[in-house]
Structure 1
Amino acid sequence: MSEQHTVDTAGAGRPVPAASSADPARPDVLPEDARRELDRLRARWAQLPLDRAEPAAPRVRALVVDLASRTAGTAVPDLGPGPLVDQLAVVAWDACAAGRGDGITQALTELRRALP
């Protein structure tokens, strides 16, 4: 068995703008300012090396869990730091679609500002 070392980063590749899973014929339910914050979060997260993203991951995960609890209340699997911001985008959209997106822009802004 050979030992191979890989260099993994939290954000692999270029950040992709947050996209909703909604029908494209319908308007996005995420408020414009919340969408902008998600895009900024994605861009920043993609720039973070893994050793800087890992300490920040629990704070991002806490917001994911909070937003998920506003809708279906199901557990969101912990897939590590790589897809964490994508999970955030999904649960943010779901919370807004369910009419439970109160304070989402502020929470996203505070999270972005707290990132290393």
Structure 2
Amino acid sequence: MSDELRRVVERWHQLPLDHALSRLPSVLVLVQSLADRVAGSRGGESQPVPDLGPAVVMDQLAVMVLDLYRARPGTDPTSVADELAGIRRSL
């Protein structure tokens, strides 16, 4: 797991539930963006990522980050880290 992904996950788990619920939509936007990039690189159609709630969204984020690096090995890690840092700062 990248350092920035670890930081986001750690910060998320420190949030009170009401705050996590208020930030969930912005995290889901990033998860969906990552999923769209993975689908595009595999030549598939984008599918909506289900909203499984705040208890699961960090797992979804971690899976999509890993899938992105597997599907697009040339992905710039700095770019992904910047996106993750943006989410972390918004929390």
Using the size of structure 2 for normalisation, the TM-score is 0.82
91-100 or 40-49: bigger deviation: 91-100
Gaps of 5+ in 1: 1-17, 19-34
2:77 corresponds to 1:110: no
**Higher percent of residues as helix:** 2
TM-score (norm 1): 0.66
Shift of 1:49: 1.3
> By how many angstroms is 1:84 displaced?
0.5
Q: Relative contact order (alpha carbons < 8 A, sep ≥ 6): 1 or 2 greater?
A: 2
TM superposition shift of 1:77:
1.0
Check conservation: 1:68, 1:91, Cα contact below 8 A.
yes
Give the superposition deviation at 1:75: 2.1
**CA displacement at 1:74 relative to structure 2:** 2.4
Percent identity over the alignment is 45
Corresponding letter in the other structure for 1:97 = R
| 1:93 equivalent in alignment to 2:66 | yes
**Corresponding pairs, count:** 82
CA RMSD of aligned residues (A): 1.4
Does 102-111 or 84-93 show the bigger shift? 102-111
Q: Give the superposition deviation at 1:92.
A: 0.8
User: How do 1:18-97 residues align onto structure 2 when only pairs under 5 Å count?
Assistant: 18=1, 35-72=2-39, 73-97=46-70
